[in-house]
Structure 1
Amino acid sequence: MSNKPKINRYISLKTLARKLRDDLGGVDLILVYAYNRTGKTRLSMEFKDIGKRKTKKNPDCIADTLYFNAYTEDLFTWDNDIENDTARGLEINQASRFFDGFKNEPLEPAIAEYLKRYADFDFDFTFQEVQQGKESFSRPVFVSFRKGDQSHIKISRGEQNIFIWCVFMATCEQLLKYPDAYPAVKYVYIDDPISSLDDNNAISVACDLSKLLRRAASKTDQNGAAAPIKIVFSSHHALFFNVMCNEIGRAKEGEPRVSHKRYYLHRANGEGAFTLRATEDTPFFHHVAALAELQVAAYHKSGNLYTFHFNALRSIMEKTASFFGHADISFCLRALSAQEDTALYNRALQLLSHGKYAIHEPTEMGEDNKDLFRSILKDFISTFKFALPDMTGAQPTTAAPALMPGQQAKPAHE
C-alpha cells in the first residue's frame, strides 16, 4: 500500500477555509506553508468572514476570529507631517475593534517587553476617550517613536511592521488574560507576521510566538476545564516556518503537547484549484527553500552567517535522515564525501546548534566556523537530491539542488 500523502484539492477559498475550520475540531493548531501569491491573505479573510456570517448560533454576526495579516498592518498609516515636519508617526484606524484590549489595562508594558527583543527604539501613544455602549475608555489614535533624546523619529517599514506585530502579540496576551474583552473569539489566524525582517529577528519572533500559541492551545476556563483558543498560522518564510514546526512539535517539560497539523498549500501559477498536502510524515517541502536561504547566507555578498544557522542546517539533515529511514543525522554525515571530516562535522553540528537559536543576542560566526559551515553545507547539497512533488498531481520529479560556482554534481546517495 502506498504511503504517499494525499493531495486534497479545493476549487475556492471558501471550501478551503471550511476545511481548516473542520480540522480545528480535532487539533489545536494548523501550520500552513505556502509561497507568496498563493492566496494566504485572502484565505485568512475568508476564514474570518465565515466566523461572522449570520447564523442561528450567531444572529448578530459577531466575529469569532482574531487575526493578523496585511489588513492588520493597514490599520496603521504612516504620517510624515509634511506641513510641519515634526509630528511624524503612525495614525491608527478607529473603525476597527482590534484595539478594544486597551480598555482592560494599559498595553504599553507588554508591547515594550516584546519590542525591546527586536528593536532599539521606544514609542508613545496618543489617546482619546471613546464611548462604547454605556462605557467609555481611552483608545490610541496615534503613536510616535523616539530614540535616545530624539523624538518623533522616522522609522523604517520593517520597524513599523515589527512594532505592529508587537501590538498584536500584546493583544493576544490580553485575549488570554481577559477573555471577556473578546468573548466571541474562538480562533486566532496569523498570516506572515515577519515581512521585512532579517533572519535573526525572524527566529526570535518564531520562538516567542510558539510560546504564546502553546499557552493559547492549553488555555483553561475558570473551572480548570480545557478551553483552548484554536489557531491557524501560515507563512512563506522557510526558516521562520521551520523554527515554528520545531518549537511546536517538540515536547516541552511540564507542558502538554500541542496537537497540530502541518500543510503545504499550493496553487499552480496562481490559478486554478488550491491543493493542500499534509507534510507531517514526509520531508517538509520548505526545507528546499531553507537550503537556498542558507546558501545565500553562506555565499552571497548580502548574506551573514550567525550561529543559529547551524540549527537550521541540522534540522534539515535530521529530516533528510528520517526520510531515508534513519534515526539521526549520522546517516547524512556518513554519506558525505569528506568522510575524514565526519567527526568534525558531527561535533560542530552538536555543539553549535544548541541554545535558544541565539535569538536575543545573535552571534555572527567566526571565520573558522564560517568555513566549517560552508564545507558541511556544500558537501550535504552536492551529495543528496530532493524529490520535489508536483502539487498538481503529476508524478514526482527529481531535481538537483543548486550548485556552488565551479562545483560538479555528484550521484545521489543510494
Structure 2
Amino acid sequence: MGVSLIDIAQQLKDNDKKVQLIYAFNGTGKTRLSRAFKLLVAPKVDGDTELEELEVVTKKILYYNAFTEDLFYWDNDLEFDAEPKLKIHPNSFTKWIFEEQGQDRNIISNFQHYTDEKLTPHFNEEYSVKDKDGNNVTVGAFTEITFSYERGNDERSNNIKISKGEESNFVWCVFYSLLEQVTDVLNVAEPSERETNQFDQLEYVFIDDPVSSLDDNRLIELAVNLAHLIKSSQSHLKFIITTHNPLFYNVLHNEFNKGTFKKYFLKKNEDGEYDLITQSNDSPFSYHLFLKTEIEKAIETGQLKKYHFNFFRNILEKTSTFLGYDNWGELLPKDTNGNINPYETRIINISSHSKHSGDEMVDLTDDDKRVLKYLMNNIKEMYRFK
C-alpha cells in the first residue's frame, strides 16, 4: 500500500545517511517531493512567498528545483525593440551570491565550461530609468543579465536570447557556485572561525534534476563534479538528489562510496499514492529492466495501457544504443524478406507521442494488447533479457 509525499519526505528526514539518491520518471512528483521535504524541515511562516524561500540566512534547507528557475524571467521588451535580457525577481539568494560574495566570475566560468567558452553572461550595474509617468526608477546591480558571443579582439555580438537548456544551465551554475561556498564555509569546524554564520543552521541540501539538457559527456562531468563536492563536505550537511536521468543517476551511484549513501526508486501508483523502493543491489539501477518488469506485470494482470507502449519504446531505444544500432526500429521482428511490419512501428510511435490524436484514450484495443505482448516476448527471446 502506497503513502503520501509527506510520508516519503518523513522517511528521507528520518534517514541518517549523508546522501540519498532517488530515481523517478518525469511527472512522478520529484519537485512536489522537494517542496514537501522543505515544508517538513522548515515550515512556512506567515509572510513567506515562493520567491523568498531561498533566503539563505537562518534556513535549515537549501534546495534546487523548478521553483529556483522561476526566480529568472525574460524581458524581451518587444515594444521598444530592445535586446533581450534575463531578469531576476528580488530575492536574498541571488543578492547574497552576487553582491556579498562576488561569485559572478565563478558563475560565468562554470556556465561557459558546460556550454560555449564564447557565450558570455554580462551582469548589469545599478542604473536609473524613467517609468511611464516620467519618474526615476533605480534598477539594482546584478538584477539583469544579458548574453552575447565574444568574438575576440574585444568584439562582441548583439545580445541574444539563449535557449531554455542554456538558461537552465545558467541557473544551475548560480546554485552550484553557492553550494561550493556553503561547503567551504561549513568545512571550518569551529563556527566562530567561519567567514560567515549565515549557514550555521543549514542541515539539508535538496537537488532536483539539475540540468537535463546537456550532452552525455557534459552531464557525466557535471555529475562527477557534484559528487566530488559532496564528498568534500566534512560538516553535518545531508544531501538528497532526485533525477529522471538514468545516466546521471548511475554516475552518481558509482561516485559515492558504499555505506555512505542510500538509493531509491520513487514510484507513483494509480491511486495517487507513492512507494519509495529501496534499491538494495550493489550495481546501478537499470531502469529499462524496471520498465520490462512493469510491462510483464501488466500483461499478466490484463492491465496494459497506452503508456506501456512508451515503456516499450524506451527499452528499444536503450537496447539499440547499447548494441550500436542507428535506430530502435531495427530491433523489431522482421519477416522472411527482412522487412519490418510498418503497423508495429506505427503503433509504437502513435502510442508514445502525446501530439497524436486520441492521446486521452489510455485503454488499448485487444489487437494493440496482442501486438505489445508479441513484441515484448520477441525482444526478450531475441536479446535474452532475464
| TM superposition score normalised by structure 2 | 0.63
Contact 2:58–2:199 at 8 Å: present in 1 too?
no
Equivalence for 2:124: 126
Pick from 121, 136, 156 the counterpart of residue 163 of structure 2: 156
Contact 1:100–1:181 at 8 Å: present in 2 too?
no
One-letter amino acid matched to 2:145? V
Structure 1 residue 95 displacement after superposition: 3.4
Pick from 201, 205, 228 the counterpart of residue 222 of structure 2: 205
Distance in 2 (CA, whole Å) between partners of 1:35 and 1:16 is 16
Distance in 2 (CA, whole Å) between partners of 1:108 and 1:114 is 10
Equivalence for 2:73: 77
Q: State which structure, 1 or 2, has the greater radius of gyration over its C-alpha atoms.
A: 2
Kindly report which structure 2 residues correspond to 1:244-255, keeping only aligned pairs within 5 A, or say none. Answer: 244-249=252-257
Cα deviation digits, residues 375-405 of structure 1 (max 9, x gap): xxxxxxxxxxxxxxxxxxxxxxxx99978xx
Equivalence for 1:371: none
Distance in 2 (CA, whole Å) between partners of 1:128 and 1:18 is 44
One-letter amino acid matched to 2:67? Y
Cα deviation digits, residues 180-208 of structure 1 (max 9, x gap): 23332211000011233332332222112
Structure 1 residue 147 displacement after superposition: 0.6
Equivalence for 1:330: none
Equivalence for 1:394: none
Structure 1 residue 35 displacement after superposition: 0.7
One-letter amino acid matched to 2:143? V
Contact 1:238–1:287 at 8 Å: present in 2 too?
no
One-letter amino acid matched to 1:286? Y
Equivalence for 2:304: none
Kindly report which structure 2 residues correspond to 1:273-292, keeping only aligned pairs within 5 A, or say none. Answer: 273-281=273-281, 284-286=285-287, 288=289
Structure 2 gaps, min length 5: 46-56, 128-139, 151-155, 187-196, 292-313, 329-371
Contact 1:32–1:234 at 8 Å: present in 2 too?
yes
Structure 1 residue 282 displacement after superposition: 6.4
Structure 1 residue 27 displacement after superposition: 1.1
Distance in 2 (CA, whole Å) between partners of 1:83 and 1:287 is 49
Change (3 A) 1:231 1:293: farther
Structure 1 residue 34 displacement after superposition: 0.7
Kindly report which structure 2 residues correspond to 1:186-205, keeping only aligned pairs within 5 A, or say none. Answer: 186-205=203-222
Change (3 A) 1:54 1:409: closer
Change (3 A) 1:235 1:88: same
Pick from 374, 381, 384 the counterpart of residue 409 of structure 1: 381
Distance in 2 (CA, whole Å) between partners of 1:244 and 1:214 is 11
Equivalence for 1:18: 10
Structure 1 residue 407 displacement after superposition: 7.2
| TM superposition score normalised by structure 1 | 0.59
Change (3 A) 1:400 1:242: farther
Contact 1:189–1:232 at 8 Å: present in 2 too?
yes
Contact 1:104–1:178 at 8 Å: present in 2 too?
no
Pick from 122, 141, 144 the counterpart of residue 143 of structure 2: 141
One-letter amino acid matched to 1:13? L
Equivalence for 2:60: 64
Correspondence 1:170 to 2:163: no
One-letter amino acid matched to 2:3? I
One-letter amino acid matched to 1:85? D
Structure 1 residue 128 displacement after superposition: 4.5
SS at match of 1:266: strand
Change (3 A) 1:50 1:139: farther
Distance in 1 (CA, whole Å) between partners of 2:385 and 2:213 is 37
Distance in 1 (CA, whole Å) between partners of 2:158 and 2:199 is 34
Correspondence 1:41 to 2:13: no
Distance in 1 (CA, whole Å) between partners of 2:171 and 2:164 is 11
Distance in 2 (CA, whole Å) between partners of 1:99 and 1:401 is 58
Change (3 A) 1:234 1:408: closer
Change (3 A) 1:296 1:205: farther
Distance in 1 (CA, whole Å) between partners of 2:219 and 2:228 is 14
Change (3 A) 1:239 1:413: closer
Contact 1:175–1:181 at 8 Å: present in 2 too?
no
Cα deviation digits, residues 160-199 of structure 1 (max 9, x gap): 1111111111011121234523332211000011233332
Equivalence for 1:29: 19
Kindly report which structure 2 residues correspond to 1:387-406, keeping only aligned pairs within 5 A, or say none. Answer: none
Contact 1:86–1:152 at 8 Å: present in 2 too?
no
Cα deviation digits, residues 286-315 of structure 1 (max 9, x gap): 25478655446444569xxxxxxxxxxxxx
Distance in 1 (CA, whole Å) between partners of 2:14 and 2:179 is 23
One-letter amino acid matched to 1:123? P
Change (3 A) 1:287 1:104: farther
Structure 1 residue 124 displacement after superposition: 1.0
